[in-house]
Amino acid sequence: MPRYCFVSRVDPDRLDEYRRRHAAVWPEMLRALRDTGWRNYSLFLGDDGLLVGYVETDDLDRAKAAMAATEVNDRWQREMAELFADGGRPDENWRLVDEVFNLDDQLAALTPEPGKDR
């Protein structure tokens, strides 16, 4: 399953509001993410506003396009835009970062040691 990581930046003055809104995401938004192929989706927020996202999906471009076509995503993005440092739609201002290491992948590629499990 392809894994994707992205970064963005929340306005440091709006971190508490960002956290509050994500503590109870709208149920229809959660269902839309699930129904459009987003799996194991997590967001991490630093005290300086650095936002790091992680998602697994078969095709990121297709999953993003499917979400963009939903009414709930349009409403969510418009409401969240005010919390971001760049002021744009959050779902259009990601910067993808390359995965350079994955423990499970490398462990799976190891030749088992004699007499030991991986």
What is the tens place of the pLDDT at every residue in 14-48? 999 999 999 999 999 999 999 999 999 999 999 99
CATH dotted code for 3-109: 3.30.70.100
Mean pLDDT, the chain, whole residue set: 94
Report residue 111's pLDDT band, with 50, 70 and 90 as the boundaries.
confident
Distance CA 78, CA 113 (A): 54
Instruction: Return the half-sphere exposure (C-beta side, CA atoms, 13 A cut-off) of residue 60.
Output: 16
| Tokens found for residue 110 | 């190891």
Active-site residue list:
22
> Which sequence spans correspond to the domains of the chain?
3-109
Q: In the predicted model, is pLDDT for residue 65 greater than 90?
A: yes
What is the rounded average pLDDT of the residues 69-90? Answer: 92
Report residue 118's pLDDT band, with 50, 70 and 90 as the boundaries.
low
Is the Cβ–Cβ distance between 63 and 36 less than 8 Å? yes
Q: Is the pTM of this model over 0.85?
A: yes
